[in-house]
Amino acid sequence: MKKIFSNYKLEGHTLKNRFLMAPMTRSRATQPGDVPNVLMAEYYKQRSTAGIIITEATQVSLQGKGYAKTPGIYTQEQIEGWKLTTKAVHEAGSKIFLQLWHVGRVSSSKVNGLQPIAPSAKIAKDTSVYIFDGAPNGDATFVPVEEPREMNQNDIKNVINEFVQGAKNAIEAGFDGVEVHGANGYLIDQFLRSNSNQRTDEYGGNKENRIKLLIEITKAIIKAIGKEKTGVRLSPFISFKDMNDPEILETIMLAVEQLNDLDIAYIHLCEADWDDAPQIPLEFRIELRKKFKNTIIATGNKTPRNGETLLENELVDLIGFGRKFISNPDYPIRVKENLVLSDISDNHTLFGGGTERGYTDYSNAK
């Protein structure tokens, strides 16, 4: 497998390989204040064997928070906390982008004390978020999401400003760029889909209107920090959180054409990582490559060999891996040298916890 271990030029950055560590929520931020900390910096440093890291989803405001102990990027204390991570990752020889996040309707007042907001006052069926309420084993407690309030024009302007300020704060914190989270049923994805977006104004009603928020946020971030520092994550084939929309593929492709015109650094395809998940059709990948000229990232339930095939066929440029990096901080090295891979030791430690257990206590193979 030569391609996946080769260098790659990403908008002025030379990546040492084409392994990308995918965004993974781990809920380790210091409380109160959702502040990134020394433990998180060590976690990312250990995994800097990846050519590039995309951080866990990071809320751009308290309103944008949907799960307990997730980090933010809207206070000075959070900016200072993230500086620990960017310094550690850069010293270890990798690059790192911050994923900007607003959950929209996927939230509860039990998480942030606020009623969720969304494109429409439509609850996400069969969807839960988690809090930590003192369970003896430290596990998260899942609570159902609450009915959201439909966003007005001021809400939309505020969200755009929050994403822009988050991007500026990320650059101040030392990140190489930002990724706009437009996937997985969160706020921007809610605007993209006809079943969750039932507005009749300029932000709803047809595909052109439903992509408007994504494009406006992206344009504003480009103006603030530069197109070469801006990426977008999309999930055309993922429909959990009550997001099944028959028009989503056409809507995504319409957005891709405009994102291509904006000349952003990359599009990051979030692909499902469970065993019976829908596979992305070859035809979609071919069309995406035709419509988008810059870097394409694919993240999902892939082996390095699967990734190598996609790279060889020039359908994507970087391959994202998630859970393998949790228990194998040196995952690219283990793959290259055909070393034994470690399994996740305890699923209870995936979300939450204030110690190194299940977080930074996985060792390298050598």
Q: 22 lies in a domain? A: yes
Q: Which of 93, 68, 73, 94 is nearest to 83 (CA)?
A: 73
CATH of the domain at 218: 3.20.20.70
Is the Cβ–Cβ distance between 178 and 166 less than 8 Å? yes
- Token pair 């430690």 is at which residue? 349
- Token pair 């891709």 is at which residue? 256
Is the Cβ–Cβ distance between 81 and 35 less than 8 Å? yes
pLDDT at 353: 83
- Token pair 């993974």 is at which residue? 24
- Rounded to an integer, the average pLDDT of 335-359 is 94
pLDDT at 136: 65
Q: 356 lies in a domain? A: no
pLDDT at 279: 77
- Rounded to an integer, the average pLDDT of 145-164 is 98
Question: What is the pTM for the complete model shown?
Answer: 0.97
Q: 315 lies in a domain? A: yes
Residue 278 pLDDT exceeds 90 = no
**How far from chain centre, in Å, is Cα 84?**
20
Percent of the chain's residues with pLDDT above 90: 93
Residue 43 pLDDT exceeds 80 = yes
Q: 365 lies in a domain? A: no
Q: Which of 7, 69, 8 is nearest to 359 (CA)?
A: 69
pLDDT band at 274 (very low <50, low <70, confident <90, very high): low
In the chain, the number of structural domains is 1
Q: Alpha-carbon distance 224 to 259, whole Å?
A: 16
Q: Which of 232, 254, 256, 222 is nearest to 184 (CA)?
A: 232
Query: What value does the CA radius of gyration of the chain take, rounded to a whole number of Å?
Result: 19
* Residue 67: active-site member: no
β-sheet bridge partners, residue 95: 52
Q: Which of 26, 46, 58 is nearest to 94 (CA)?
A: 46
Is the Cβ–Cβ distance between 175 and 97 less than 8 Å? yes
Question: Which entry of 8, 67, 130, 186 is annotated as an active-site residue?
Answer: 186
Please work out, in degrees rounded to the nearest 5, the angle formed at the alpha carbon of residue 332 by the alpha carbons of 331 and 336.
120
Percent of the chain's residues with pLDDT above 70: 98
Q: Alpha-carbon distance 134 to 120, whole Å?
A: 34
pLDDT at 204: 98
State the average pLDDT for the chain.
Answer: 96
Phi, psi of 66 (to 5 degrees): -125, -10
Residues in the chain: 366
Q: 311 lies in a domain? A: yes
SS3 226: coil
pLDDT at 67: 98
Q: CB count, 10 Å around CB of 243?
A: 22
Q: Which domain holds residue 286?
A: 3-349
Is the Cβ–Cβ distance between 19 and 331 less than 8 Å? yes
Residue 280 pLDDT exceeds 90 = no
Q: 361 lies in a domain? A: no
Residue 189 pLDDT exceeds 80 = yes
Q: CB count, 10 Å around CB of 129?
A: 24
Each residue of 269-306: b (16+ CB within 10 Å) or e? bbbbbeeeeeebeeebbeebeeebebbbbbbbebebee
Q: Alpha-carbon distance 117 to 98, whole Å?
A: 23
Percentages helix, strand, coil for the chain, rounded to the nearest 5? 35, 15, 50
Exposure of 66 in the CB half-sphere (CA atoms within 13 A): 27
pLDDT band at 277 (very low <50, low <70, confident <90, very high): low
Q: 325 lies in a domain? A: yes
- Rounded to an integer, the average pLDDT of 228-237 is 97
pLDDT at 213: 98
User: Where are the alpha helices (H) located in 226-338, listed in sequence order?
Assistant: 248-262, 282-291, 304-312, 323-327, 331-336
Q: 66 lies in a domain? A: yes
Q: Which of 353, 355, 359 is nearest to 326 (CA)?
A: 359
Phi, psi of 96 (to 5 degrees): -150, 130
What would the pLDDT profile of 64-79 be if each residue is shown by its tens digit?
999 999 999 999 999 9
